[in-house]
Amino acid sequence: MSVKLLFLNDEAMRRAGVLDMRAAMKDVERVYTLYARGEVINPGKCVLRWGKTVEDENVLGRINAMPGYVGGEYDMAGIKWIGSGPMNYKKGLPRASVTIILNDPDTKLPVAIADGTAISTMRTGASGGIAIRLLARSGARVMTICGAGAQAPTQLEAALLARPSIDTLYVYDIRPENAERFARATREKYPSLTVAVEPDIEKAARESDIIDCVTLAAEPFIKGVWLKKGALVMNMADYEVDNDCVLRADKRVVDYWENVKHRMISTIALMWRDGLFRDEDLHAEIGSILCGEKPGRENDEEIIYFNAVGAGIMDIAVATRCCKAAKAAGLGIELPFWE
């Protein structure tokens, strides 16, 4: 018996549709729904970290292993293996590099190996977009993106699909050159959008309907006292917002609560660890809102906090869609696994 493995590099993945944000948002929405219905296996992250503290990790880096199985129309198992080298920019390399392995859920044999770097940024952007669709004010106009790295473009793309009413974007980054670079690219791509680099994060936050944080922050830089009525604050990465952002919120929503607690790096997780937030204080996981078990935003006055930690099942779903498209188009390289 011979077994072949499909290898998909970054170019094959692009040709297979990995950069299609609408499709990525559909994948992420389906995964959230399947998760809420118990049709996934989601063991959570295993973190291989260098150093002993968050500060160490944000310099020395980490590698995460994120296995899972997604049912429904995907019916695929796999693992995301993602390396994060925060200092890679000094070498002209991307911070994140991702490999996806897909396994047949019946035989458990590998069926594909794919570059997952674009998948990771797309599905995280898509996750933010789904949160905005469910949790932001209906007529949201002003958005602030904190962190002008690889995540910023996909967060914005998904946000504009979810809320076309957004007409003003503030960009904040501790490296001004990164903020300027992202702002220039954004003006070229979205000429109707007013884009401003804003070094005064308090000013930007106070005006914003949506505050989207995609940074490596080890100390909070968004204060709850700045949040206006109706604001959505999105804690999409590390320790980015202060406790008051959680405490002032009328609803606290996460993607995968057990994963959030296991990762223990976001504000709400640290509050739970310290006894400042209880399981029963959580409004919902986002899948429960999609399934109609819990309401999303109910009025334009609510302040809502959202935290996403991510899960490999999201990457597996996107990779499965692209793998099917690649096979149909004859993309990739077939490698002999067993002869």
Task: List, for the chain, all residue ranges whose pLDDT scores fall below the cut of 50.
Answer: none
**Same-domain status, 47 and 67:** yes
Assess if residue 198 is contained within a domain: yes
Can you name the residues that pair with 96 across neighbouring β-strands? 84
**Same-domain status, 202 and 265:** yes
Asked if 234 contacts 210 with a C-beta cutoff of 8 angstroms, the reply is: yes
Whole-structure pTM value = 0.93
Assess if residue 43 is contained within a domain: yes
What local confidence, expressed as pLDDT, does residue 160 receive?
98
* Cβ neighbours of 303 (radius 10 Å): 18
Q: Which two tokens stand for residue 110?
A: 């590998």
**Same-domain status, 288 and 173:** yes
What local confidence, expressed as pLDDT, does residue 57 receive?
78
Q: Which two tokens stand for residue 316?
A: 């597996």
CATH number, domain with residue 217: 3.40.50.720
Asked if 65 contacts 48 with a C-beta cutoff of 8 angstroms, the reply is: yes
Helix 312-329 with 117-135: angle, nearest 10 deg = 120
* Cβ neighbours of 190 (radius 10 Å): 16
Q: Which two tokens stand for residue 148?
A: 């002008």
* Exposure of 198 in the CB half-sphere (CA atoms within 13 A): 22
What local confidence, expressed as pLDDT, does residue 36 receive?
97
Assess if residue 130 is contained within a domain: no
What local confidence, expressed as pLDDT, does residue 263 receive?
86
What local confidence, expressed as pLDDT, does residue 338 receive?
86
CATH number, domain with residue 319: 3.30.1780.10
What local confidence, expressed as pLDDT, does residue 47 receive?
84
- Domain, as residue range, for 197: 137-307
Asked if 320 contacts 12 with a C-beta cutoff of 8 angstroms, the reply is: no
| pLDDT tens per residue across span 313-322 | 999 999 999 9
Assess if residue 127 is contained within a domain: no
- Termini Cα distance of the chain: 7
Asked if 84 contacts 64 with a C-beta cutoff of 8 angstroms, the reply is: yes
* Exposure of 150 in the CB half-sphere (CA atoms within 13 A): 20
Residue 77, judged by CB atoms within 10 A of its CB (0-12, 13-18, 19+), counts as buried
**Same-domain status, 258 and 323:** no
| Of 255, 29, 27, 257, residue with least CA distance to 130 | 29
Amino acid letter, 89: Y
**Same-domain status, 174 and 204:** yes
Amino acid letter, 250: D
**Same-domain status, 8 and 42:** yes
Phi-psi region of 62 (alpha: psi -120 to 50; beta: other; left: phi over 0): beta
Assess if residue 339 is contained within a domain: no
What local confidence, expressed as pLDDT, does residue 218 receive?
87
| Helix, strand and coil in the chain, % to nearest 5 | 40, 25, 35
Q: How many domains does the chain have?
A: 2
Assess if residue 131 is contained within a domain: no
